[in-house]
Amino acid sequence: MRVIATAIPDVRIVEFERFDDARGTFAETYDTAKFCAIGIDVDFVMDAWSISRRAGTVRGLHFQAPPRGQAKLIHVPRGRLFDVVVDLRRSSPTFGWHVACELQGGDCRQLFIPAGFAHGFCTLEPDTEIVYKMSAPYAPELYGGVLWHDPALGIAWPVSTDEAIVSDKDARLPRLADLGPVFD
């Protein structure tokens, strides 16, 4: 297992080992002891899976507020996406910064996102699947988000606002400046 640093130290890309032979492929995508050894000591309690049928689908930027803030471990088993996290921790020196990376099926990379961040993505291929572990169960009353194309975030999305496929709910999310404090 290899850890790749990002511009925000708490956000990390984790590359797991893959074994290929005549039968196919095998990889361990999660092992608590190995993740603890690289400094990711999170009790994941829930897994989720989604498929976006069309390229250009944007989901996010979502978060879950305290007391049930969610750390996430993102993996793409099929397809390709542009993944983004935004630091919402007001006391952080990287508040408002973002990290963006591409994840794709077969690349053996996962993105670790601690609680305190908004997460979103844009699919770059049809039928892109995303699987993620979360450290807290879904709590709709604590669920929120930030407008994905807020210019203050400076995210270079691979799709324009006119071309993006976005839910009505995500299209109405507030800009970061209008969000108010969520995480300390």
* Positions marked active-site: 62, 132
Token output for 88: 């919402």
Tokens 């709590």 map to which residue?
Answer: 139
Distance (Å) of CA 113 to CA 22, 81, 91, 162: 35, 16, 17, 28
- Per DSSP, the three-state class of 171 is helix
Please say whether the beta carbons of 116 and 67 come within 8 A. Answer: no
Of 19, 5, 9, 36, nearest to 108 by C-alpha is 19
Please say whether the beta carbons of 90 and 181 come within 8 A. Answer: yes
Please say whether the beta carbons of 142 and 65 come within 8 A. Answer: yes
